[in-house]
Amino acid sequence: MGFLSRMLGAVRPSEMAGICIGPPPWWRIEGARDAVAFYRALPVLLPEGVVLCFEGTIGDLVPAFLAERPSPHYAKVRMGTIWPRPDVHHMQLTQENLQGLVAILETGIVPYPSHHFHAYKENRVLLSWYDAFADPMLISMKIGEETVKQFSGEIGCVYSLVRASRGGS
């Protein structure tokens, strides 16, 4: 890493590594733009106790809220931001935690809590969403299609299956 990168506080390549959703197949959900609807519906997709990872939080309220609720268990998730160095918070999915987060979002002060969002359990990424609320989110095949379909309906989006690519074509 160059001198200028170090001076500016850029993330080193070795710091970028971490758990990730891995190659397809996965479920892909497109068109989610309403953060309040998304976080209200999240318990449809994921069980309590899953760890939520927020990278690059927005505003002052969200990081303060998340800092008060650190998960006792966390894994290093592959980062999506090189510069500026993002803050990263891990919070367990509980009804109380989601209600508090939704309350912040309902104020309208921030449109969404973070630039990148992931959910994992026992070092397995279940949801990966770089550029949250702009790009499609990816859902692990560990989550059944009926659950993904119900969640997609709750947030007013469509889902599809992304298959593993075949080499040599």
pLDDT of 52 > 60? The answer is yes
pTM value is 0.92
- Strand 88-92's sheet: what is its strand order? 88-92, 51-57, 114-121, 124-129, 137-139, 26-30, 158-162
**pLDDT, tens digit, 9 for 90 and up, residues 134-145:** 999 999 999 999
What are φ and ψ of residue 118, in 5° steps? -140, 155
- Is the per-residue pLDDT at 169 higher than 50? no
Q: Residue 102 is encoded by which pair of tokens?
A: 């939704």
